[in-house]
Amino acid sequence: MRLNRKRKVLVTGANGFIGQAMVKILSEYDHDIRILARKQSNVNGQISLDLFKDKIPHELCDGIDYIFHLAGKAHELSMSKEDEICYWQVNTEGTRKLLEAAHQSGVQRFIYFSSVKAAGFTGQQIIDEQNHTPADTPYGQSKYAAEQLVLHGGYVPHPVVIRPSMVYGNTEKGNLPRMIDAIRKGVFPPIPEVHNKRSMVHVEDVVQAALLAADKPEAAGQIYIVTDGHSYSTREIYDWIREALRKPQSSLTMPLALLRAMAKVGDGIGKLRGRRFMFDSDALDKLIGSAWYSSAKIERELGFKPGHDLKSSLPEIVSNLEK
């Protein structure tokens, strides 16, 4: 998927995992790209700016057709009060400032990269855009508040919200690379098969979904969840990573009761030291729980077709981490 004709595009958060993929694909289509990132780099044409702390120059959005807004504070497993405040400052107020600048410059299309965590998860059933359960974390709440500004603030004629599930691809950051590293070192437990369901999506498919949403008139004012169309259990992911690492499949399984006991110990350690231990009940719930989402809406309305799945992508991901 490419934009119908050459466009002037602003990409925020361009130094991040998805942002780098977005800039690469847009560059291949020869679009005129303006890059905004908080940290200075050697990329030509980059504007270094902290969306919350800095005043946005009026020329930032001048002449821009589309904005792909990826900049934000990512979800942290271990949060402090300062982190909670920062979520609102960066994810919500930073988005508000950018929307105001976009409105002043007459930008037509604003694609906001949110998260499936902008809505609460309600259990084992698959979740779609009709789920209105309130977000249960400060991170998710800040992303939801930003979504409301994008969709209902009246800043641009064509606002769209993209909610990616867990994104994978060639990066050293995130839960999947940490899991790969732990399995490589032999310190990741052979968890039991509990048939949980987790949704994921390749970074290149997230970009393609955003390009579709930017170009299709019917996407205006919509929220789209993006997945690769599959659901994965944690044990499946564990076995596939071992295969990609050229390790023999493990016949061992750590009893779930033992994992729960270890998590309770971690809870106690966390209380004693005043911050979370690396393995506690919350970490176990994320490991064996479900986070299952549907991307049927974007497939039906915009013709989105994911081009990747996790199992076939893992050998390349592992190879990239080994370099």
Encode pLDDT of 114-169 as tens digits.
999 999 987 678 999 999 999 989 999 999 999 999 999 999 999 999 999 999 99
Domains, the chain, in order of start with CATH, read: 8-173+197-228+292-307 (3.40.50.720)
**Longest CA–CA separation in the chain, Å:** 61
- The predicted pLDDT at position 283 comes to 86
Q: Which of 100, 76, 90 is nearest to 38 (CA)?
A: 90
User: Residues 308-321, buried b or exposed e (16+ Cβ, 10 A)?
Assistant: bbbbebbeebbeeb
Note the pLDDT tens digit of each residue in 274-292. Answer: 888 888 998 898 889 999 9
pLDDT at residue 77 greater than cutoff 60? no
The model's confidence at residue 106, banded by pLDDT at 50, 70 and 90, is very high
Dihedral (CA of 269, 274, 278, 280) sign: positive
The letter for the amino acid at 9 is: V
Task: Give pLDDT, residue 40.
Answer: 65
Amino acid found at 261: A
* Cα separation, 250 vs 227, whole angstroms: 29
- List the helix and strand counts (H, then E) for the chain: 11, 10
| pTM, to two decimals | 0.93
Comparing 239 with 173, the larger pLDDT belongs to 239
- Residues whose CB is less than 8 angstroms from the CB of residue 67 and which lie 6 or more positions away in sequence, other chains included: 9, 10, 11, 12, 61, 98, 102, 107, 109, 110, 111
Q: Are strands 8-12 and 32-37 parallel, antiparallel or unpaired?
A: parallel
pLDDT tier for residue 52 given thresholds of 50, 70 and 90: confident
Residue 68 predicted with pLDDT over 90: yes
Has residue 10 got a pLDDT over 80?
yes
pLDDT category of residue 83 using cuts at 50, 70 and 90: confident
Taking only Cα atoms into account, the Rg of the chain, rounded to an integer number of angstroms, comes to 20
